[in-house]
Amino acid sequence: MNKNSASFLPSLIRSGQNNEVTLRIMQTSDLHGNLRAYDYLSDTGGQSYGLTRLATLIKQARRESPNCLLFDCGDFLQGTPLSDLTANPEYGWAGPNPVIDVMNQLKYDAVGLGNHEFNFGLNWLAAAVKSAQFPMICANVLRNHKAKSDLQGTLVEPFVILNKTLKLSEKRKQLLRIGVLGLVPPQITSWDRAHLQGRIKCLDMLEAAQDNLQKMRAMGTDLIVLLAHTGAIPGPAHDNMENAALQLADAGGIDAILAGHTHQVFPRPDQQSNDGIDHQASTFCGVPAVMAGFRGSHLGVLDLALTHDGTRWYITGHNGRAIAASALDVPEDKALTIEIKKAHHATRTLVARPLGHCGIPLHSYLARIRPDPSLALIARATKRAVANALQDSPHADLPVLSAVAPFKTGGQAGPEYYHDIPPGQIRLRHLFGLYPFPNTVCALKVTGAELLEWLERTASCFNHLETGTSDQPLLNPHFPGHAFDVIHGIQYQIDLSQLPRYKPCGTPSGVSSGRILDLKFHSQIIDINQKFIIATNSHRAHGGGLYPDWPADRWVINSANSLQDILSDELQRNIAITPKDLSDWRFVPMPETTAIFETGPGVRAYQTELSTCRLSDLGNNDQGFAKLRLQLGPRDT
């Protein structure tokens, strides 16, 4: 961005007139360790995201407005090889945490914890907190030895009160006391149970918010900003919600909400407003709000017009935007790239480490419409690990299945967010692409009926299609790709002419009919009482996504073995992926019916696979995704 370029976000009003002033609040969220505009998995730079790109926007915003605050809403410490190398002593990194280092340089005013801050345990998190030169806050995570009502027992400070001197004019200033509250989904105690069980407990977000808001007001705050690591999903409030931004706004007492967790961008003026989500006004239930996307894709900016009546401050107007890092040709901040140069080069060296060899390409472009080799590799590894662990156990004779999902399938992250590994040598960076999260291997004992319901949940990610209609959108955009579980070891078909049984939040839709047909094991229809062992990851088994949290009596294995380590061992075996490794599922044929499937443009390198899947290329859509027509009619015999 040229220093002489026009302001990217003009202030709402002129400061200094009638005790009016504009406070600019900037937000990052769900950075997931993406500091540089660099993809370590493909070893290429120039990406359209990253905190060093946002840093250029942040500094520009500070030049434009004398009254600025900078916050992050969580999930900043984990997610790339650059960030995760700090968690594994075997990787040999002895320097400072590079994420904290950059955030210190940018002088964040406060940062809220996200669920992924707990992925590597409390000791690792404590070290990060200790090195931070800014407050880390979270109001609903308590140390376990404290009573529920004693919020002084929080793991980190529940909130911080910032004394900000606002500049009204060259000669006039006014003190503003800004309370900043942090919240995280209570599901962290399930998702990272291996690290957290018995050490912390987590309160309902709405309960913790109301308790702390009263305290903050009593301490004389003029304005309360919520750092909410939670998304906005319409519906009534209920206990222990994962995505409660709308319900928190509706409860009152909050002046501005900075949300996250779901990797969405808000506001999006091109989207319709409903159910309390107003894209045009940038509000959640009337409260000014922004969401800054994922991995440094956007900078959230709220300009609040404040008026002081001699007694207190009032918000008299606001303007909210999510500014893309790719906008206005934003370059990376040079000072910060120099600051993390050593960590950047150490990461590139680390991820170049060879692991094994694969004779076929592994990519995720088509993982949601056909049996996928990448998922087959992960399923084979987890199935082998579970089967070995069950030897000589009471469950040794039960068939072992494996549930896996694709993690990189575009969506909110954009058309480049796919893994694409060419045939040949497999390196550590490819492993991070195939499985980017530090989940552990788990196994559950399920019945045939529960297996069927598992698949009904995953099949709900597709839209309802009308037979005989052309070019209907295939995917429901509200279902993330990582919620699409494929179960290996059985056979089944998905009937898209039926309505989905589940909503994107995981609750039943009220539809009694099902989409899963011909559910078989070894070519025999599965009985509802038949027993299976299903290998999965700790996040899914503990209720991650739209899936249930399984009761203790269904757990067969709850290991501390990371899926990345198990997959690394599998890659080093150099065993070819064969057709028998692939999952066995397909869509039920729909005569004279086509659907539109959107995926990464890199899929065009695989013309044979496009033909096999009966896909025809319709060019790119406005977001840069490849737009493909999927033929769903019966195949020619």
DSSP 443-456: EEEEEHHHHHHHHH
The span from the CA of 318 to the CA of 62, in Å, is 18
Task: Let me know: does 452 contact 529? Beta carbons within 8 Å.
Answer: no
| Average pLDDT of the residues in 125-147 | 88
Predicted confidence band of residue 48 (pLDDT cuts 50, 70, 90) = very high
- 97-101 contacts: CB < 8 A, separation 24 or more? 97/127, 97/128, 97/131, 98/35, 98/340, 98/343, 99/31, 99/33, 99/35, 99/128, 100/128, 100/131, 100/132, 101/131, 101/339, 101/340, 101/343
Please tell me the predicted confidence (pLDDT) of residue 149: 46
Please determine, for residue 6, whether its predicted confidence score (pLDDT) is greater than 80.
no
Please tell me the predicted confidence (pLDDT) of residue 150: 47
Please determine, for residue 202, whether its predicted confidence score (pLDDT) is greater than 80.
yes
Q: Is the peptide bond before 267 cis (omega within 30 degrees of 0)?
A: yes
Please tell me the predicted confidence (pLDDT) of residue 29: 98
The string of DSSP letters for 534-577 reads EEEEHHHHBT-TTS-B--GGGEEEEEEEEHHHHHHHHHHTTPPP
Residues 6+ apart with CB under 8 A from 428: 81, 350, 351, 352, 353, 354, 355, 568
Tell which wins on pLDDT, 350 or 91.
Answer: 350
| Average pLDDT of the residues in 464-476 | 98
Please tell me the predicted confidence (pLDDT) of residue 1: 47
Please tell me the predicted confidence (pLDDT) of residue 265: 95
> Environment class of residue 18 by beta-carbon count within 10 Å: exposed (0-12), middle (13-18) or buried (19+)?
exposed
The span from the CA of 358 to the CA of 364, in Å, is 15
CB atoms within 10 A of CB 108: 23
| Average pLDDT of the residues in 387-397 | 94
Task: Let me know: does 19 contact 307? Beta carbons within 8 Å.
Answer: yes
Please determine, for residue 472, whether its predicted confidence score (pLDDT) is greater than 60.
yes
> Environment class of residue 312 by beta-carbon count within 10 Å: exposed (0-12), middle (13-18) or buried (19+)?
exposed
Distances (CA, A) of 277 to 240, 259, 280, 288, 637: 21, 12, 9, 10, 50
Task: Let me know: does 371 contact 583? Beta carbons within 8 Å.
Answer: yes
| Average pLDDT of the residues in 593-619 | 98
Closest CA to 565 of 326, 361, 355, 409: 355
DSSP bridge partners of 200:
143
The span from the CA of 82 to the CA of 77, in Å, is 10
Q: What are phi and psi of 32, to 5 degrees?
A: 50, 45
Predicted confidence band of residue 15 (pLDDT cuts 50, 70, 90) = very low
H or E stretch at 608: helix 607-612
Predicted confidence band of residue 413 (pLDDT cuts 50, 70, 90) = confident
Give me the residue spans of the domains in the chain.
25-347, 353-631
Three-state DSSP class for residue 285? coil
Q: Which CATH class is domain 25-347?
A: alpha beta
Antiparallel, parallel or unpaired: β 256-259 and 287-292: parallel
Give the whole-number percent of the chain exceeding pLDDT 70. Answer: 95
Please determine, for residue 16, whether its predicted confidence score (pLDDT) is greater than 50.
no
Whether domain 353-631 has CATH 3.90.780.10: yes
Report residue 232 as tokens: 């906005």
The span from the CA of 311 to the CA of 309, in Å, is 5
Residue that is written with structure tokens 């044929």 in the block: 589
Least confident of 60-74, 133-147, 446-460, 559-573: 133-147
The span from the CA of 561 to the CA of 250, in Å, is 42
Residues 6+ apart with CB under 8 A from 453: none
Please determine, for residue 625, whether its predicted confidence score (pLDDT) is greater than 50.
yes
Over the chain, what is the mean pLDDT? Answer: 92
The span from the CA of 367 to the CA of 483, in Å, is 12
> Environment class of residue 612 by beta-carbon count within 10 Å: exposed (0-12), middle (13-18) or buried (19+)?
exposed
pLDDT digits (tens, 9 = 90+) for 227-271: 999 999 998 999 999 999 999 999 999 999 999 999 999 999 988
Closest CA to 187 of 548, 537, 553: 548
Please tell me the predicted confidence (pLDDT) of residue 3: 41
Three-state DSSP class for residue 477? coil
| Average pLDDT of the residues in 329-339 | 94
The span from the CA of 413 to the CA of 48, in Å, is 10
Q: What are phi and psi of 265, to 5 degrees?
A: -110, 130
Three-state DSSP class for residue 53? helix
Antiparallel, parallel or unpaired: β 298-308 and 313-324: antiparallel
Alpha-helical regions (H) of 390-447: 428-434
Closest CA to 371 of 63, 532, 600, 580: 580
Q: What pTM does this model have? A: 0.89
The span from the CA of 515 to the CA of 495, in Å, is 5
Residues 6+ apart with CB under 8 A from 449: 528, 529
Task: Let me know: does 282 contact 319? Beta carbons within 8 Å.
Answer: yes
Which residue type sits at 305?
A: A
Three-state DSSP class for residue 99? helix
Please determine, for residue 383, whether its predicted confidence score (pLDDT) is greater than 50.
yes
Residues 6+ apart with CB under 8 A from 444: 533, 534, 536, 541, 550, 554, 555, 556
Please tell me the predicted confidence (pLDDT) of residue 429: 93
Predicted confidence band of residue 145 (pLDDT cuts 50, 70, 90) = low
pLDDT digits (tens, 9 = 90+) for 530-540: 999 999 999 99
Report residue 356 as tokens: 């094994």
Three-state DSSP class for residue 409? strand
CB atoms within 10 A of CB 260: 32
pLDDT digits (tens, 9 = 90+) for 339-379: 999 999 999 999 999 999 999 999 999 999 999 999 999 99
